[in-house]
Amino acid sequence: MTPTTLVHPEHRPTSVAAEPEASHGRFPRILLVNHDRGYGRLLREALSCHGLHAILEQEPSADSALHRLATLSRWKIRLVLIALPLLHGGLGLISDIRSRSLVPAVPMLSLDEGAQSLERAQALRLGADDCLPRPQRWDEYGILSQRLGLLLDRSERADGQTG
């Protein structure tokens, strides 16, 4: 299954396939791992309304996300957002991404609406940079937008120091 690129209509690039870095240079690319396409649209809209304009590429499962990350070529992912239940794929995906060094320096943030503190702590030990409850109210998307923005800023600064 191919990923769906969800872009706010005002920010839709003219050509996605031609020159990804040139077309999307202004907007960070976030890989969202979640099976619900409606959630992807809601998340994109919420983040945009809260000031974070990004290109969300959505993969429906841990397996498809791993395949996507393993076959990256010119598509630079700036952040991996895992919106899978931690006990049902999320923890394994975090571990696989870090242990395989697929995107070793790319921040990962996990969202889970039902995770307990022990599961969130395990996600952090396995390599997630942050682990938050999945937003349920509009104002909580503002908090998520701020966290994602901070992770993206740190990642960009780290890239500037090493590259």
Which of the 8 DSSP states describes residue 105?
A: T
H or E stretch covering 137 = none
**What domain count does the chain have?**
1
- In the prediction, which pLDDT does 5 show? 38
Tokens 């600064």, residue? 157
CA dihedral 30, 44, 140, 142 (to 10 degrees): 80
Residue 84 is predicted with a pLDDT of: 87
pTM: 0.76
Q: What confidence score (pLDDT) does residue 1 get?
A: 39
- As a whole number of Å, the end-to-end CA separation of the chain is 33
Q: What is the pLDDT of residue 2?
A: 39
Domain hosting 76: range is: 4-162
Instruction: Name the DSSP letter for residue 8.
Output: -
- Provide φ and ψ at 130, rounded to 5°: -160, 155
Owner of token pair 């299954």: 1
Looking at residue 127, what is its pLDDT? 92
Local confidence pLDDT in tens for the 163 residues of the chain: 334 333 343 433 322 332 333 334 578 889 999 999 999 999 999 999 999 988 889 999 999 999 888 877 545 678 899 988 877 888 999 999 888 877 777 889 999 877 788 889 999 999 999 999 889 999 999 999 999 999 988 887 777 665 5
∠ CA 109-113-117, nearest 5°, is 75
CATH number at residue 98: 3.40.50.2300
